[in-house]
Amino acid sequence: MSTVTELWLFAMSVAASALGGMLGMASGIFIVPILTIFAHVDIRIAIGASILSVIACSCSSAAPFLKSRLTNVRLAIVLEMATTAGALSGVVLAGAIPTSYLFLLFGAILLLSAHQMLAKRRNPTLASTPASSGRFSWRLDSSYPDHELADEIAYRVARLPIGMILMYCAGLSSALLGIGSGVLKVPAMDSALRLPIKVSSATSNFMIGVTAAASASTYFVRGNIVGPIAAPVALGSVVGALLGARFLISISNDRIRVLFVAVLVALAAQMFLAAFGNGLYRGMT
């Protein structure tokens, strides 16, 4: 592989991981189609490189997000159990449901998620509520410093059972369609759990790294992780993730929400195209 190609892979992964890391989505949503369409890389090898990219992106941005107290680790661990259960169910059900129906359903879900995110009140101080004082608590409520508002924003994790159900559906969809579940995790935490958008993105970014690490060994054993391709992609993901973390910390909540909604609408359109056999990708991490 030429040096020019490696530099191109590096630059591409920097941009993809910066956007994915900032939105709390798996960077494979952008990396896999770019590798398959423009670099003509086999889809399995592209997914293998994407998995390493997701792990690198999650690990690189973990420190800035934790330092800024944006990641809710307790909540991530609780929700990841539901996501993993959904992924295991998806593996069992794979092939039993026509793929075209799944893409149509997923596209509709993405559009609904975009509508809900736009409808939510924009002011994080209005969306946040005091911590619960019930006799039993998961101790998931927390706070984070908002640099834009120059204030400490306290938030309460609401409707956890609904959030768990949505995380199960996210894992199920991820396994059935072969796409990253981060695209559903952020809207679920934002709309159902009533979390600030920055906390949703940072916590989702932490979760997708755990999910990707669980499947990396399988792709390695199958020989789908090719060093000359995966190495520059992973290295670029480290740089991109650090940039994405800085953008997320400094950018306003409104801009993050609008950008995420734009990505949701674009992906929904792609899902509808894929339902009729015209999709640009099949199987993304």
Residue type for 227, please?
G
Task: Return d(Cα 126, Cα 211) in angstroms, integer.
Answer: 32
- Of 29-33, 118-122, 154-158, 238-242, the least confident: 118-122
pLDDT of the residue at 259: 87
More confident residue, 130 or 117: 117
pLDDT (tens digit per residue) in 132-149? 444 445 688 898 988 777
pLDDT of the residue at 285: 44
Pure H helices in the chain: 3-23, 28-37, 43-67, 73-93, 99-119, 124-127, 160-177, 182-187, 197-221, 227-250, 253-275
pLDDT of the residue at 178: 59
pLDDT (tens digit per residue) in 214-237? 667 777 888 888 989 999 999 999
For residue 83, give Cα distances in angstroms to 42, 144, 254, 271.
28, 25, 27, 21
138: exposed, middle or buried (C-beta count within 10 Å: 0-12, 13-18, 19+)? Answer: exposed
E strand spans, 115-165: 142-146, 151-155
pLDDT (tens digit per residue) in 58-100? 888 888 888 889 999 999 999 999 988 888 887 677 667 776 7
pLDDT of the residue at 138: 67
pLDDT (tens digit per residue) in 116-127? 777 764 444 444
pLDDT (tens digit per residue) in 187-201? 889 888 989 888 998
- pLDDT band at 177, cuts 50/70/90? low
Does 247 score more than 70 pLDDT?
yes
pLDDT (tens digit per residue) in 44-60? 788 788 888 888 888 88
Report yes or no: 52 and 180 within 8 Å, Cβ to Cβ: no
Neighbours of 137 (CB within 10 A): 11
Report yes or no: 157 and 75 within 8 Å, Cβ to Cβ: yes
